[in-house]
Chain A
C-alpha cells in the first residue's frame, strides 16, 4: 500500500511546465530534457513502452547505434554458409565468406530493393537477385548484372550490398553495429565479458555451439518488457508457481525472500542475476543444473581432463550465467534468447538450447530442458509472455502514468569490483537498464 500511495502523490508535486515530447522549462527557467520527466529515479513513464514515435527513435538511437548481438559463429560452421538473422527490426544475412570471415550483409538489392536471398539458411557463395539477375558475392560485392552494356561507365564497386558497419566477435558471439564509429565491442561489454567466459568455461572444449535451431515466439508487447523481465528475480515465485509446484525444479529457491543470490549491473545496460553465492553455499558440482557429477560421468571426466580436478569442480559448482546483455542477448543458464523488436507493441523472442561443443551426454539434457521451458508452448516462457502482453495492454489504462521500479533502492550496494548489486528480487536491473537507455536516447 505504501508504494501505491507514493505513486498517487508524485504528480501532485510536479512543478514543471512541461510537454512530454518537447521538454520544457522548470521554475527557475532552466531548460530540462523531456527525459527528466519520462525517466525519473525509480519510475518510468508508460509511454516509453507504447509511443510509436519513441519506438522509431529507439531504432535509430539504440538498435542502429549500439552493438547488437547477431548470432553465433557456429551457426555458419562451413565456408559459404549463411543464415538469416536480425538487427533490430531489420533482417541481416550472417554469412561465412570463402575466406572464412564472418560477413553481415543487408538483404536488399541496390538496384530496386528486392531481396537477394529468400532462404532462411543454406550454403552458397553468391546471391542472385531474382528481379534483374544482379549477382553478389558473399562479401557483398556486385559481381555481375544482366546485360551489362546498358551500364556503360558505371562503377560496379559502388553497387555492392549494404553491410553492417562494424562486425566483431567475442568467443564466437557475433555482434554488429550500424554505427561506423563508437565504443569497441570490448568496451561495450565491459564487465559482462565475465559472464560469457563463465558460460564457455562450462564446456570442456571452452566453446559453445548454437546448432539446434530456434523457437520463435511472437509477443504482443514492447521489447523492453522482455528485456527488463530477464533479470527480474521478483516474478518467478508467482509467474512460475504452477510449474514449481508440480515439478522438482529448484529454481524457485533462488528467487525467494531468503535467497542469497544477487542482481548485478555491469553498466552499459548489462545486468545479471548471480546465483553463485547460493551454489557455493551448496558446494555440490552440477547442483546449478539440478543434477550431480555422478549422473554425468562422461562430461565430468572431460571437464576434469580439460581444466584439472580443482578448477573443473569450481566451474561445475558455479554453473552458467544468467545475464542480459543490452539490448538483445539473454543467456539464461542453458538457453540463449535473442530479443527482436518488430514494432512498438510487437516483439519476437528467439530461443534455443546452448550446446557444449564435444559434450554429447550433457547436450541432450540441455536440449530437453530447454524445449520444456521455453518457446510458445514452454512451461516457463508461455507464462512470462502472457505477463508481457498483459503489461502492454495495461498501458492503455491512463492512471497511474508511471511504473514503479523502486524495489530494493535502499539496499543497493557495490561489490568488490565496484558494480552495483542488490537482492535477487530487487528492481536494480530495471533501474540500471533505464539509466543506460536514457543516456543513449539523450545522446545527439
Chain B
C-alpha cells in the first residue's frame, strides 16, 4: 500500500499534473479483467459510432460524467470543468445531440479511439474501479485533431450486467486552450 504512495512523492511541481496518489490492485483476476475490457471497448465503439441511446443506457441512475479542466484532481464543486454531468445532464446532452441541430456535431465527428493500459484500483465495496488510457483521432469540418486522456471508471454490476456509475476523462492537455469537444469523449 504505502509503496504506491511513495512512488508519487516528489516536489509539488512534479506531481501537480498527475493528481493524488491512487492505490492499484495487486491481485489479478483474468476473468474480470477480460469482462471489464470488453465493456469499455464496447463503450468506446458506441461513442465512435454515435450510438447515443446505447451509450446512455450504460449509465447507472447515480451517474457522474466528469471531464475536468486545469488539472487531474480539481474540486468539481468549486472549479470549472469541461463536463460535470449528473444523470439528468447526461440525458440532456444526448437529447441535444439527437436533435440533429447540434451544429458542432452536424455532420458528426468521424472518430476512432484506442483504449489501453487497463489497471484496477482497489475498491472498498463491490464497485469495480479501473483506470485506462485513451487516444482518440477526430476529423471534422475544421480538420484533424488528436486527443489523449487518462480515464477512470467506476463500474457496477446490476442484475448481472456491468453498468457505468462514474467516468472521469482527464485530457492530457486540459490546462491548455483546446478545440471544441462536442463528441462523446
Contacts and interface: CB of A to CB of B under 8 A. Distances in A.
Interface of A: 119-120, 211-220, 239, 241-243, 245-247, 348, 351-353, 364, 367-368, 370-372, 375-377, 379, 382-383, 385-387, 389-390, 393
Interface in B60-96: 67, 69-70, 74, 77-84, 89, 92-93, 95-96
Contact of B104 (A367, A371, A375, A386): A386
A364 B77 CA distance: 7
Contacts of B158: none
B90 to A, nearest CB: 11
A372 B179 contact: no
B179 A220 contact: yes
Contacts of A364: 77
Interface stretch (B115-123, B126-134, B170-178): B170-178
Main secondary structure of the interface of B (DSSP, over half): loop
Nearest to A387: B103
Contact of B102 (A242, A387, A389, A393): A242
A216 B93 contact: no
A424 to B, nearest CB: 21
A218 B80 contact: no
Contact of A213 (B69, B93, B176, B180): B69
Given A246-B99, A377-B181, A382-B182, A371 B93 contact: no
B141 A390 contact: yes
Given A213-B70, A216-B177, A383-B102, A375 B141 contact: no
A141 B150 CA distance: 42
Contacts of B26: none
A323 B111 CA distance: 38
Interface of B: 13, 67, 69-70, 74, 77-84, 89, 92-93, 95-96, 99-104, 141-143, 175-182, 185
A377 B67 contact: yes
Contact of B177 (A218, A243, A368): A218
A246 B92 contact: yes
A352 B103 CA distance: 23
Contacts of B143: 220
Nearest to A349: B177
A383 B82 CA distance: 15
B59 to A, nearest CB: 17
A83 B176 CA distance: 15
Given A371-B81, A375-B80, A377-B83, A217 B103 contact: no
B80 A370 contact: yes
B33 to A, nearest CB: 31
The residue in B143, B181, B182 that gathers the most chain A C-beta atoms within 10 A of its C-beta is B182
A174 to B, nearest CB: 20
B69 A375 contact: yes
24 contacts: A119-B13, A212-B78, A212-B79, A213-B69, A216-B176, A216-B177, A217-B178, A218-B176, A218-B178, A220-B142, A239-B103, A241-B99, A242-B96, A242-B99, A246-B99, A351-B80, A364-B77, A375-B69, A376-B178, A376-B181, A377-B83, A379-B93, A383-B103, A383-B182
Given A120-B175, A216-B177, A242 B79 contact: no
Given A218-B178, A377-B67, A385-B104, 15 more contacts: A213-B79, A215-B69, A216-B178, A219-B179, A353-B80, A368-B84, A370-B80, A371-B81, A377-B181, A377-B185, A383-B102, A383-B103, A383-B182, A386-B141, A387-B103
Contact of B101 (A219, A242, A377): A242
A245 B142 CA distance: 26
Contacts of A385: 104, 180
Nearest to B145: A218
Contacts of A120: 175
B86 to A, nearest CB: 9
Contacts of B101: 241-242, 245
Contacts of B180: 217, 376-377, 382, 385-386
